[in-house]
Structure 1
Amino acid sequence: MADEKKPSGLTRREFIKNGSFAVGGLIGGGLIGGMLFNSSSDTSTSTSNGDHNHGNGSNDYMEARMFFKRQEDFRVLSAAVERIFPEDEVGPGAIALSVPYFIDRQLAGSWGFNAREYMDGPFEEGEDTQGTQSALLRRDAFLQGVRLIQKEAKASHDGENYFDLTEEQQDAILEKFEAGDVEMNGMSSSQFFSLLRVATLRGVYSDPVYGGNKNMDGWRMKKYPGGQMAYMDIIEDEEFHDMEPISLHEHHN
């Protein structure tokens, strides 16, 4: 699956650890642009939909579903993003970083409605460099894609849920989507996989104020300092400074 896209001789985590994957390129654009949440939100909402917090991080109040109404859909999404960015010896995976909640909140907002994009016809298949030329809203694409992942799991494994399969079985289903071998309405399954993968990475590396990158652990794996106010006192130093990251949330307190 994603292994074909990794630099030769490097594991995915080594690639991240070496800092070769530019954080700035992951968090740009409209995906995280629409939703800031007040830190005074009632933390009791975090389990109102039957969800479970992943630890005792400072943004547990963010862990309440806003888009996915069915817990089954959310569990499939969670299992899929964890396979795209799994936990290992270097650091936490997508679930521990609250990536499923990040995606859920983005789908509930303007990004899910493609609000900042031209969405009138005609809709024709474009070049690869033009991206998805589809009338399908992202929220509808994710709902369809997640349910097709579950459908593929049940069809291939005697009715088993996707989130109950082994990691290898889960990967095999995602590989079918990546290869475009699953029939979808409005976009190809490979386009959906690309959308899911990019959203996962943005959830890992975006500022925690948007619901992902819990405890700034995604940044810590890259030694990224976050939203520091200034570097004037160290900018001319030759040695590397390992700094505690700062979230946008801290600038508003």
Structure 2
Amino acid sequence: MADNNGLSRRDFLKTTGIATGALVGGGIIGGLVGYNVNKTGGKVEHTETHGGGNAATQDINRGLMFFTNQNEFHVLSQAVERIFPEDDLGPGALGLGVPYFIDNQLAGNYGSNAKEYMQGPFFAGESTQGYQSRLTRAEIFRHGIAKMDEEAQKRFKKGFAELEGKQMDEILTAFQKNEIDMKGVASEFFFKLLRTATLEGAYSDPIYNGNVNMDGWRMKGFPGHQMAYINVIEDEKYQKIEPKSISSMQH
């Protein structure tokens, strides 16, 4: 369904390269924030959605590994749903399990930057220079989520998770435009991390607790991890292949 600008999420994915397999970077002003969200501009209730279909893709751990504060997790959940919303094409970030994917990643090497050089000197870098912060990703996410809540209280006298959709978009856009003061990292960089992690959770293999029921792949027509294509490689017709997770190879 088209939004007020006459563009659907399908159109957006095509024009930015996502539909062809290339994830967009964080530099596009507006990005996916509020794009065709919820049609009424309201917030999305936080519910666990497991999808249907292949039971093997659902036998995954839904427990939190990083977030011990439920409010932090709810703020994250509402933010990622605004970035990757549900629409008529399929589920959004909540339905795809993206908050759990991010939680699990933050609890591991991704969150601790365990395999990256994290020594000084630390200088404020340009937006094109990549990771420049002394903070780990886990620290950046925790700081960024707290700042989102703080900004919501300043602007609207409510917590971020209690805001209407357009109010959330206003705050997320302020982060993207680097208008929010954060310590040890630029708010623009936090937004890029959040947005990139959202897309990764939507399109990762379900064994990492995102892309529930492989619905992210289905929206793109991506076949996942097939053992072989020898039976169709010479067929000139378009092949619509049911996606498979790595987990299917373990049986």
Equivalent positions of 1:51-130 (< 5 A) are: 53-55=48-50, 58-59=57-58, 61-130=60-129
Q: CA deviation at 1:56?
A: 5.5
**Distance (whole Å) between structure 1 residues aligned to residue 212 and residue 203 of structure 2:** 9
Match of 2:240 in 1: 242
Match of 1:133 in 2: 132
**Distance (whole Å) between structure 1 residues aligned to residue 75 and residue 85 of structure 2:** 15
- Is 1:101–1:211's contact at 8 Å kept on the other side of the alignment? yes
Aligned-pair Cα RMSD in Å: 2.3
Q: CA deviation at 1:216?
A: 0.2
Equivalent positions of 1:153-168 (< 5 A) are: 153-158=152-157, 160-168=158-166
Match of 2:209 in 1: 211
TM-score under structure 1 normalisation?
Answer: 0.81
Distance change (3 Å), C-alpha of 1:168 and 1:69: same
- Is 1:99–1:211's contact at 8 Å kept on the other side of the alignment? yes
**Distance (whole Å) between structure 2 residues aligned to residue 61 and residue 232 of structure 1:** 31
**Distance (whole Å) between structure 1 residues aligned to residue 242 and residue 190 of structure 2:** 35
CA deviation profile, 1:39-88 (whole Å, cap 9, x unmatched): xxxxxxxxxxxx96323664364211110110000000000000000001
Distance change (3 Å), C-alpha of 1:19 and 1:127: closer
**Distance (whole Å) between structure 2 residues aligned to residue 179 and residue 74 of structure 1:** 24
**Distance (whole Å) between structure 2 residues aligned to residue 205 and residue 63 of structure 1:** 17
Distance change (3 Å), C-alpha of 1:23 and 1:95: farther
Match of 1:45 in 2: none
**Distance (whole Å) between structure 2 residues aligned to residue 193 and residue 136 of structure 1:** 15
CA deviation profile, 1:143-179 (whole Å, cap 9, x unmatched): 0001111111112112x12112111111001011001
Q: CA deviation at 1:127?
A: 3.6
**Distance (whole Å) between structure 1 residues aligned to residue 207 and residue 15 of structure 2:** 25
Identity %: 50
Give the stretch that moved more between structures: 52-61 or 183-192.
Answer: 52-61
- Is 1:18–1:222's contact at 8 Å kept on the other side of the alignment? no
**Distance (whole Å) between structure 2 residues aligned to residue 154 and residue 194 of structure 1:** 23
Q: Does 2:145 correspond to 1:146?
A: yes
The secondary structure found in structure 1 opposite 2:87 is coil
- Is 1:53–1:63's contact at 8 Å kept on the other side of the alignment? no
Match of 2:12 in 1: 15
Q: Paired residues, what number? A: 222
Q: CA deviation at 1:12?
A: 3.2
Match of 2:29 in 1: none
TM-score under structure 2 normalisation?
Answer: 0.82
**Distance (whole Å) between structure 1 residues aligned to residue 166 and residue 110 of structure 2:** 31
Structure 1: runs of 5 or more not aligned? 27-50
Distance change (3 Å), C-alpha of 1:233 and 1:59: same
